[in-house]
Amino acid sequence: MAPVTFSNVKKSYGAVKVIHGVDIDIADGEFVVLVGPSGCGKSTLLRMLAGLETISDGEIAIGDLVVNDLEPKHRDIAMVFQNYALYPHMTVEENMGFSLLHRGASTAEIKERVDWAAGILGLAEYLGRRPGQLSGGQRQRVAMGRAIVRNPKVFLFDEPLSNLDAKLRVVMRGEIKALHQKLKTTTLYVTHDQVEAMTMADKIVVLNGGHIEQIGTPLDLYDNPVNQFVAAFIGSPSMNFIKGRVDGDHFVAGDARLPVPPGAAEGRDLVYGIRPEHFTLAADGGIEAEVVVVEPMGSETQVTMRIAGQNVFGTFRERVLALPGSRLTLNVDPADTHLFDAETGLRLPRDAV
């Protein structure tokens, strides 16, 4: 186990810059998730830490050791690949023991480590099988087993669940988290799925276009996104954005007036942000919304509505029985709202709101 530090890390392929100076501190034993849309550079960062990509500028350190020029094998890391990268001609046991074999471990030691890992991952009865004879989830576990037998300082996961179906993904998410709680090994995990990031991370790094947008705990990012990108990316269904201006203690968009905390910046184009679950049904005298689509989920009802000609999405604990075209009146707690600068996308600080 060891902390990991990225200091002003940059990456370019020829003239094309893909990572523009990234700083991340990962504490010893922390589970950090790199999340962002495809092409944001998250996998590249992970591969730079693994030693599979060179570092154009800046420094990456594992513990006190700067690893920029170290071969992957000298970094004491283990990696789980998106397509598992299992050796198809080897059995599960050989796959997991392969790296130990080449580190001079004795047969007994290898057996002990492999059995230990297989025990943790529930693979004991599959040791004699080949990857082709396993299900997706089992292959994923073998890939994890191959990583944990070496007891490395850092685990790297590169979108490990994206080849699994939705149900299995939820199961494996839990297993990876449980594994981390058991082993407490420093983990860097890359995904494009914000749900994975929210549910698994101690700390989330949101990346976009080779820049860090925000670093924080899952709930911190959810409640206090620094800009519209993070606000939109974190949370599902996504935050609603309505364009308009502040007038007194209301946000005015077309003919709709939405409540804001007092003292908000007046007189310039802003974007009003509100999460779907922060709409509540009002008995009377609220915001008028026209119902477009009602999707009953059982535990909640999701409703697509139009406010001032702009589509918004609400989730309600109540069972909304409104028909498309009918009108709902909604309430919003001003404390749950966010205001973003329409030009820069930055969120206006609370005290200035």
Partner 1 sequence: MTVVASPSELSRRKRPYWTMARRDSLAGYVFVAPQAIGIAVFVLVPLLLVFWYSLHEWNVLAQTFRFKGLENYHRLLSDPGLPEVLIATAIFSIFLVVFNMSLALLLAVLLNQKLRGITVFRTLFFSPVVVSLVAWTIVWSFLLQNNGGLNGILDHFGIEGPNWLRHPTTAMIAVVVVQVFKNVGLNMILFLAALQGVPKELYEAARVDGIPAFRQFRRITLPMISPTVMLTSIITIVGSLQVFAQIAVLTQGGPGMSTTVLVYYLYQQAFEFHNFGYGATLSILLFVIVAALTFLQWQMRKRIVFYEN
Which positions touch partner 1 (CB under 8 A)? 50-52, 71-74, 77-79, 81, 83, 85, 87-89, 98-99, 102-103, 132, 146, 150
Give the nearer residue to partner 1 in terms of CB position, either 150 or 243. 150
Cα-to-chain-centroid distance, residue 215? 11
What is the spatial distance between Cα 290 and Cα 138, in angstroms, rounded to a whole number?
48
Give the nearer residue to partner 1 in terms of CB position, either 138 or 302. 138
Least separation in angstroms between residue 117's CB and partner 1 is: 14
Give the nearer residue to partner 1 in terms of CB position, either 98 or 241. 98
Least separation in angstroms between residue 322's CB and partner 1 is: 44
Least separation in angstroms between residue 126's CB and partner 1 is: 18
Give the nearer residue to partner 1 in terms of CB position, either 79 or 274. 79
Give the nearer residue to partner 1 in terms of CB position, either 157 or 233. 157
- Report whether 260 contacts 338 (CB < 8 A): no
What is the spatial distance between Cα 353 and Cα 338, in angstroms, rounded to a whole number?
9
What is the spatial distance between Cα 56 and Cα 51, in angstroms, rounded to a whole number?
12
Going by C-alpha positions, the residue among 82, 250, 221, 80 that lies closest to residue 152 is 80
Give the nearer residue to partner 1 in terms of CB position, either 78 or 120. 78
Least separation in angstroms between residue 72's CB and partner 1 is: 5
Give the nearer residue to partner 1 in terms of CB position, either 51 or 225. 51
User: Which residues sit opposite 270 in a β-bridge?
Assistant: 244, 341
Classify each residue of 314-348 as buried b or exposed e, where b means 16 or more C-beta atoms within 10 Å of its C-beta.
Answer: bbbeeebebeeeeebebebeeeebbbbbeeebebb
Torsion of CA 265, 342, 281, 309, to 10 degrees: 120
Least separation in angstroms between residue 88's CB and partner 1 is: 6
Least separation in angstroms between residue 272's CB and partner 1 is: 45
Query: If you ran DSSP here, which 8-state letter would residue 343 be given?
Result: T
List, in sequence order, every beta strand (DSSP E) within the chain.
4-13, 16-26, 31-35, 57-62, 65-66, 77-80, 154-158, 186-191, 203-208, 211-216, 240-247, 250-253, 256-259, 270-274, 279-281, 287-296, 301-307, 310-316, 327-332, 338-341
Least separation in angstroms between residue 337's CB and partner 1 is: 46
- Report whether 309 contacts 243 (CB < 8 A): no
- Report whether 38 contacts 50 (CB < 8 A): no
- Report whether 139 contacts 133 (CB < 8 A): no
Least separation in angstroms between residue 46's CB and partner 1 is: 11
Give the nearer residue to partner 1 in terms of CB position, either 134 or 330. 134
Going by C-alpha positions, the residue among 240, 243, 261 that lies closest to residue 334 is 261
What is the spatial distance between Cα 15 and Cα 25, in angstroms, rounded to a whole number?
28
Give the nearer residue to partner 1 in terms of CB position, either 11 or 278. 11
